[in-house]
Structure 1
Amino acid sequence: MKASKLAYKPVGLALGALSGMAAGALFKQSWKLLGHAPDTTDAPDATDEERTWREVVLAAVLQGAIFAGVKAVVDRGGATATRRLTGAWPG
């Protein structure tokens, strides 16, 4: 395993945790702005009998898109920063 990849492992784990928290907060705000669930900012569970199919699927799609987008931005930024510091791409 390359040294840059090994050095990036703990950084990647920390960035992954931070990106998950950021994505969760972004989703909650997005869900709230869309006017869903005024009493809570949590996404509906698929087994929540009180929620419609449309609401459950929309929440899942939005949440997945936000998480994937934030993860890509954070991973790419971390890899770019690692290359600047070490001169090697961590992949």
Structure 2
Amino acid sequence: MSNRIGKTAYRPVGVLMGFAAGAVAGAIFRQVWKMTAGDGEAPDPTDEDRGWGEILAAAALQGAIFSVVRAAVDRGGAVGVRRMTGHWPD
């Protein structure tokens, strides 16, 4: 019963935090790309003028940033639910 409370409490928090994580990760990626590549926009995979290396590097960087932000947000949300309910959401 107590485990269900944690899951139920975490579900709406997780959804909202997921949207926020996507927005934050996108903003971080754009800033990091701008600093590292010196270019205003990350390459589109179908951009004929960009090479494979640049496109794959951008995709790898974007994926890494998204994964780290998402993990941090998920963990923070779970800790918050535990503090509110006393139960860890499994």
TM-score with structure 1 setting the length? 0.90
Secondary structure at the residue paired with 1:48?
coil
1:19-58 alignment runs, 5 A limit: 19-37=21-39, 40-41=40-41, 43-58=42-57
Root mean square deviation of aligned Cα: 1.3
Partner of 2:5: 3
Once the two structures are TM-superposed, the CA of residue 8 in structure 1 deviates from its matched residue by 1.1
1: distance between equivalents of 2:85 and 2:59? 38
| Range with bigger deviation, 62-71 or 45-54 | 45-54
Aligned residue for 1:81?
Answer: 80
Partner SS state of residue 89, structure 2? coil
For structure 1, list consecutive stretches of 5 or more residues without a partner in the other structure.
none
**In the aligned structure 2, how far is the partner of 1:85 from the partner of 1:7?**
9
The Cα offsets for residues 20-78 of structure 1, whole Å up to 9 and x where unpaired, read as: 000000000000001342xx33x212221010111000000000000000000000011
Provide the C-alpha distance between the structure 1 equivalents of 2:38 and 2:60, rounded to a whole number of angstroms: 14
| Structure 2 letter corresponding to 1:68 | S
Matched positions, count: 88
If asked which structure has higher relative contact order (CA below 8 Å, sep 6+), I would say 2
User: In percent, how many aligned pairs have the same letter?
Assistant: 52
Q: Give the Cα–Cα distance (whole angstroms) in 2 for the partners of residues 68 and 58 of structure 1.
A: 15
**Structure with the bigger percentage of helix:** 2
TM-score (norm 2): 0.91
What 5-or-longer segments of structure 2 have no aligned partner? none
